[in-house]
Amino acid sequence: MLLVTGATGNVGRAVLAELAHKPVPVRALVRDASRLGVAAENIEISTGDIFDDASLRRAFEGVEAAFLASAFSPRMAELHLRCVMAAKAAGVSRIVQLSGVGADKHVCCARALQWLGQIENTTQEAGIRVTHLRPTFFMQNLLRFASSIAQQGVIAGPFRSSKWTFVDARDVGAVGAQALLNPTHAGQAYTVTGNESLTYQEVAERLSKVLGKTIRYTDITANEARGRLQASGASPVMIEATLEMWDACASKLINVAPTNVVKEITGKEPRTLEEFATEYKTLFLEGAPFALESDEVMR
Ligand SMILES: NC(=O)c1ccc[n+]([C@@H]2O[C@H](COP(=O)([O-])OP(=O)(O)OC[C@H]3O[C@@H](n4cnc5c(N)ncnc54)[C@H](OP(=O)(O)O)[C@@H]3O)[C@@H](O)[C@H]2O)c1
pLDDT digits (tens, 9 = 90+) for 17-71: 999 999 999 999 999 999 998 999 999 999 999 999 999 999 999 999 999 999 9
pLDDT in tens, 224-275: 999 999 999 999 999 999 999 999 999 988 889 999 999 999 999 999 999 9
Q: Is the pLDDT of residue 105 over 70?
A: yes
pLDDT in tens, 151-196: 999 999 999 999 999 999 999 999 999 999 999 999 999 999 999 9
pLDDT (0 to 100) of residue 249: 92
The pLDDT value given to residue 51: 97
| pLDDT value, residue 289 | 57
Nearest residue (by CA) to ligand 1, atom 18, is 9
Domain 140-164+195-254+271-286, CATH class in plain words = alpha beta
CB atoms within 10 A of CB 100: 27
7 Cα: distance to centroid of ligand 1 (angstroms): 9
How far apart are the CA of 6 and the centre of ligand 1, in A? 6
Residue 293 CA, closest ligand 1 atom number: 41
Say how many Å lie between the CA of residue 87 and the centre of ligand 1. 19
Question: What rounded mean pLDDT belongs to the chain?
Answer: 94
| Predicted pLDDT at 248 | 94
**CATH architecture of the domain with residue range 2-135+168-192:** 3-Layer(aba) Sandwich (3.40)
Residue nearest to ligand 1 atom 15, measured at CA? 10
Domain edges within the chain? 2-135+168-192, 140-164+195-254+271-286
pLDDT of residue 108: 87
**How confident is residue 294, by pLDDT bands cut at 50, 70 and 90?**
very low
Q: What is the model's pLDDT at position 253? A: 86
Query: Looking at residue 292, what is its pLDDT?
Result: 35
69 C-alpha to ligand 1 centroid (Å): 6
Q: For position 296, what pLDDT does the model report?
A: 42
**Residues enclosing ligand 1, CB less than 6 A?**
6-12, 31-32, 35, 49-51, 69-72, 76, 79, 98, 100, 116, 135, 137-138, 141, 169, 296, 299
* Atom of ligand 1 minimally distant from the CA of 173: 16
Q: What secondary structure, in 3-state letters, does the chain show?
A: CEEECCCCCHHHHHHHHHHCCCCCCEEEEECCHHHCCCCCCCEEEEECCCCCHHHHHHHHCCCCEEEECCCCCCCHHHHHHHHHHHHHHCCCCEEEEECCCCCCCCCCCCHHHHHHHHHHHHHHHHCCEEEEEEECEEHHHHHHHHHHHHHHCEEEECCCCCCEEEECHHHHHHHHHHHHHCHHHCCCEEEECCCCEECHHHHHHHHHHHHCCCCEEEECCHHHHHHHHHHCCCCHHHHHHHHHHHHHHHCCCCCCCCCCHHHHHHCCCCCCHHHHHHHCHHHHHHCCCCCCCCCCCCC
pLDDT value at position 299? 36
Label residues 175-199 b or e (16+ Cβ within 10 Å = b).
bbbbbbeeeebbeeebbbbbbbbbe
Average pLDDT over residues 213-233: 96
Ligand 1 centre distance from Cα of residue 214 (Å): 32
Cα–ligand 1 centroid distance for 182 (angstroms): 23
Task: Return the best residue to mutate from 72, 123, 191, 294 for the ligand 1 pocket (most ligand atoms within 8 A of CB).
Answer: 72
Assess whether pLDDT exceeds 50 at residue 124: yes
